[in-house]
């Protein structure tokens, strides 16, 4: 319960004032705990950037792990991203995730660590007990390709594209869904097709 209170307080303060403008002491105060207690739950303020609950990245890993028979990992990941566009749950909401991504340099640094952790989790989700070194290398390549899709969705370029292509939240969500579909299609066709 304390961990949830810490993350909820941090998210509310970050949304209100931005990551760099909020101190650890203010987060602890908002969660009704001491700073010392806060650091028993987290190692650094940056860990609070993304909620303590499941995130969009977790949803992608779960979608790949639990994909339907015959469904490609890329399609499963794309569907998870599409679902996150309209997710009303704050933790799984892509819009809330993107706001945190754009909170500044500390957020970008933390995001790079989360990307690495997600790629590792995807590789594990794709692996089977029978996999040898070659198969494991292919699993890593597949995970990396999925992460290309994820990373572009959270990029400044895509955020700028979406912001300039629509006026309303509904239009922005539709523009983001279109981008996800197009990007997943380009990845599915391969790098040569995208380079024409």
Domain assignment present for residue 196? The answer is no
Looking at the structure of the chain, the number of domains it has is 2
> What is the extent of the structural domain holding 165?
56-191
How do residues 153-194 score in pLDDT, each as one tens digit?
888 888 888 888 878 888 888 999 999 999 999 999 885 554
Burial level of 195, CB count in 10 A (0-12/13-18/19+)? exposed
CA 56, CA 85: separation in Å to the nearest integer? 9
- Indicate if 30 and 85 belong to the same structural domain: no
Average pLDDT over residues 71-78: 95
What CATH number should be reported for the domain holding residue 14? 1.10.10.60
Burial pattern 101-115, b for ≥16 Cβ within 10 A else e, equals: bebeeebeebbeebe
> Does one domain contain both 23 and 76?
no
Q: What is the pLDDT of residues 113-133, one digit of tens each?
A: 888 999 999 999 999 999 999
Cα–Cα distances in angstroms (integers) from residue 59 to residues 28, 53, 54, 104, in the given order? 29, 11, 7, 24
110 and 89 in one domain? yes
pLDDT band for position 196 (cuts 50, 70, 90): very low
Supply the pLDDT for residue 78. 95
% residues pLDDT > 70 (the chain): 86
Distance CA 191, CA 168 (A): 33
Question: Are 114 and 29 part of one and the same domain?
Answer: no
Q: Specify whether 69 is located in the same domain as 30.
A: no
What pTM was estimated for this model as a whole? 0.77
What pLDDT, in 10s, does the model give residues 16-61? 887 888 899 999 999 999 999 999 988 888 788 766 566 788 999 9
- Spatial distance between the Cα atoms of 115 and 121, rounded to a whole number of angstroms: 10
């Amino acid at each position: 319960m304390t961990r949830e209170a810490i993350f909820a307080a941090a998210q509310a303060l970050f949304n209100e004032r931005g990551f760099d403008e909020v101190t650890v002491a203010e987060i602890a105060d908002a969660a009704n705990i001491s700073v010392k207690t806060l650091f028993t739950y987290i190692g650094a303020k940056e860990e609070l950037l993304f909620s303590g609950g499941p995130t969009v990245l977790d949803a992608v890993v779960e979608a790949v792990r639990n994909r339907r028979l015959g469904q490609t990992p890329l399609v499963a990941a794309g569907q998870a991203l599409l679902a996150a566009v309209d997710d009303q749950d704050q933790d799984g909401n892509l819009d809330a995730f993107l706001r945190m991504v754009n909170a500044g340099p500390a957020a970008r640094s933390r995001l790079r660590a989360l990307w690495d952790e997600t790629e590792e989790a995807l590789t594990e989700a794709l692996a089977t007990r029978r996999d040898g070194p070659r198969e494991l290398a292919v699993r890593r390549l597949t995970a990396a390709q999925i992460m290309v899709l994820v990373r572009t969705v959270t990029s400044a370029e895509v955020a700028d594209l979406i912001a300039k292509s629509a006026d309303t939240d509904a239009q922005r969500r539709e523009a983001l869904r279109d981008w996800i579909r197009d990007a997943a299609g380009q990845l599915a066709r391969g790098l040569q097709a995208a380079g024409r």
